[in-house]
Amino acid sequence: MNTADLGLPVDVPSTALFTDQYELTMLQGALRAGTAGRRSVFEVFTRRLPEGRRYGVVGGTGRVLDAVENFRFDADVLGFLRRKGIVDEETLDWLASYRFSGDIWGYPEGEVYFPGSPIMRVEGSFAECVLLETVILSILNHDSAIAAAASRMSSAAGDRPLIEMGARRTHELAAVAAARAAYVGGFTSTSDLAAGFRYNIPTVGTSAHAFTLLHDSERDAFRAQVETLGRGTTLLVDTYDVAEAVRTAVEVAGPELGAVRIDSGDLLLVAHRVRQQLDELGATGTRILVTSDLDEYAIASLAAAPVDAYGVGTQLVTGSGHPTASMVYKLVARAGSDDPRAPLVPVAKRSSGGKTSVGGRKWAARRLDAYGVAEAEVVGTGEVPDDLADRQLLVQLVKGGEVVAREPLDAVRDRHVAARAGLPLSATQLSRGEPVIPTEYVHGGSGS
């Protein structure tokens, strides 16, 4: 694969079985019916944002591109499908040479989105597009949920750095993806070494309470850490008595002590007391890092505290109460025959309970007000109005099966900062509310 293009050291294994069985049984049925080759358009969107959220964040696009490139049915995978009788031999023969050869368009990673936004559009034959549904959704739903939580936390933190430290609170592989998504949303570093290795995200970490408890005294523990990591290290000061630990920390490391970490108690009160004590001891440059089950609300409550950085774990990797973005992958247009020149026909699900969809191959643009601030997400089919032509959001990600838009993670991170800054100020309010801008639909032709 092409992770080497970005200097990434880890190859992604085959993703062919990161799917649901019915994707393959649908393929078998379509092959038998003669409809598998029909040109089709699938779109990823969400019908609503998590309750109270004002915007979503696109996360995981780069991982989707890796997954599409590595969606291959090798001999072991085909053998498994044959032994289990999942599909017939005709379908297995077709899968043996599977390579996605279509086009993928999407909101660039780090961009914000709203209900109905066509976050990703997958175009090709029905057969090759339908197989990608589950893996695309699993990546985008997870990573976008984490990126949105991270964005809210980074907004609340302002200029203070955020450390992702949730690996022990989620699946070991999800932890790597979560660290990546958190970086997209504004976090500055991670404690997870696998994320640092794979995505070149800055990593940090010093010691836990176990290190202090291992030694005969807190002073011995601090001395051992300073001797191995230097005076600029971060000492954990809440194992026993905080005030005594701060005094000992400065005595051991001197006023050059890099930082102290507080992991329990009334963080607002303790941070003020520790700052005063550090200053009285001459350690005016020593920073204060706080951890302990933080979320965006706790971070916001510490805005007036003398805190220099935050470490966030559980609430981040679980999406701060919303662990999925509830995105779906729906067929919105298809041709009436295998003829590549056959026009696309809009199709849409009609059902009760709010699970309807809008047919047609869509474009999206963000309309700005006179001050250059976003005022509406405009989604339409057919021709793009002239006044929105230069405000279109979808970019081509894959062309003829080849990835054309892989980019460094720092570029994605910078994009998110700019996208969030382009929203109305109320977007960053933590109070519950509706999407910060409305979604407007413009209906035109099929967009074939």
pLDDT digits (tens, 9 = 90+) for 231-263: 999 999 999 999 999 999 999 999 999 999 999
Other beta carbons within 10 angstroms of residue 207's beta carbon come to: 19
Q: 3-class SS at 376?
A: strand
Domain spans of the chain, in order of start = 3-131+326-442, 147-319
Asked if the model's pLDDT at residue 9 lies above 60, the reply is no
CA dihedral sign of residues 22, 27, 32, 36: positive
Question: Which residues make beta-bridge pairs with 164?
Answer: 190, 312
Contacts of 413 (CB under 8 A, 6+ apart): 110, 183, 184, 186
pLDDT digits (tens, 9 = 90+) for 132-144: 999 999 999 999 9
pLDDT digits (tens, 9 = 90+) for 326-361: 999 999 999 999 998 999 999 998 876 667 788 999
CATH 3.30.950.10, domain 147-319, yes or no: no
Percentage of the chain modeled with pLDDT above 70: 95
Asked if the model's pLDDT at residue 419 lies above 60, the reply is yes
CA-to-CA distance for 122 and 394, rounded, in angstroms? 12
Residue 122 pLDDT: 98
- Exposure on the CB side of residue 443, measured as CA atoms within 13 A: 3
CA-to-CA distance for 129 and 122, rounded, in angstroms? 7
Q: Give how far the C-alpha of residue 340 lies from the chain's centroid of Cα atoms, to the nearest Å.
A: 35
Asked if the model's pLDDT at residue 26 lies above 80, the reply is yes
Residue 110's φ and ψ, nearest 5 degrees, are 95, -20
The mean-pLDDT minimum among 4-13, 35-44, 163-172, 190-199 falls in 4-13
- H and E: helices and strands count for the chain: 15, 18
Q: What is the CATH number of domain 3-131+326-442?
A: 3.20.140.10
Contact between 265 and 286 (Cβ < 8 Å): no
Torsion of CA 172, 174, 176, 177, to 10 degrees: 170
Q: Please give the DSSP secondary-structure letter assigned to residue 233.
A: S
CA-to-CA distance for 255 and 307, rounded, in angstroms? 18
Contact between 405 and 144 (Cβ < 8 Å): no
Mean pLDDT of the chain: 94
Asked if the model's pLDDT at residue 7 lies above 80, the reply is no
Residue 322's φ and ψ, nearest 5 degrees, are -135, 80
Q: 3-class SS at 275?
A: helix
Asked if the model's pLDDT at residue 2 lies above 60, the reply is no
CA-to-CA distance for 114 and 5, rounded, in angstroms? 32
Which H/E stretch holds residue 32? Answer: helix 21-33
pLDDT digits (tens, 9 = 90+) for 44-81: 999 999 998 999 999 999 999 999 999 999 999 999 99
Span 165-189, mean pLDDT? 97
- Where does the pLDDT of residue 18 fall: very low under 50, low under 70, confident under 90, or very high at 90 and above? very high
Residue 447 pLDDT: 46
CA-to-CA distance for 35 and 25, rounded, in angstroms? 14
Helices (H), 97-241: 126-130, 133-157, 172-184, 193-199, 209-214, 218-229
Percentage of the chain modeled with pLDDT above 90: 92
Question: Which residues make beta-bridge pairs with 378?
Answer: 365, 440
Contacts of 287 (CB under 8 A, 6+ apart): 234, 258, 259, 260, 308, 309
Residue 357 pLDDT: 80
